[in-house]
Structure 1
């Protein structure tokens, strides 16, 4: 699996990339049909301390593209949430693939 990282209004972070890579590689171990993954880290000015750190994951799998987005107070929490959401989508996709 090839993982691409993009940052908007955020400086690149090797720590975030390592954390994202670790979580995504766990998904790849369970779902070997993942082709590529794009991870986007963005900041947004908000009045709330519980939001503003946005993480998006776009994952290419045969036949479709899976997408998840989270807007929380830290990139770590946001990343954990989107990886969980993509994991659910992958499980559903695998079930569909097996039923055909």
Structure 2
């Protein structure tokens, strides 16, 4: 499992990276075929107080890459929602994977 963190208009945070690693660990533990995660944190100026902290996660897996994005008022909330979306996508992908024996 490899996790690559990228920051745009935001300074890096060890606490945020650890939180994200903990959330992604459930995906890596449950779906052994997911090999890598690219995590993007982007701060955007928006007119709403409830958006602007964008978390994007792209997972490398067999077939097309899995991707999810959320924008909330905190990065932790965005990461939590993105991981939930990715779990749903992984379940759908798992159903289409045919094991070779």
Structure 1 contact 35–62 (Cα < 8 Å) conserved = no
Aligned: 1:3 with 2:20: no
- Superposition map of 1:1-100 within 5 A: 1-98=1-98
Find the residue that maps to 2:71 and give its secondary structure: strand
Deviation digits for residues 9-66 of structure 1 (CA, Å, limit 9, x no counterpart): 0000000100000111111111110011100000000111100000000001012200
TM-score of the two chains, using structure 1 as the length reference: 0.95
Find the residue that maps to 1:50 and give its secondary structure: coil
Runs of 4+ in structure 1 off by over 6 angstroms are none
Gaps of 5+ in 2: none
* Distance in 1 (alpha carbons) for counterparts of 2:98 and 2:8: 38
Gaps of 5+ in 1: none
Question: RMSD of the alignment, in Å?
Answer: 1.3
TM-score of the two chains, using structure 2 as the length reference: 0.95
Change in Cα spacing, 1:99 to 1:92, as seen in structure 2 (3 Å) is farther
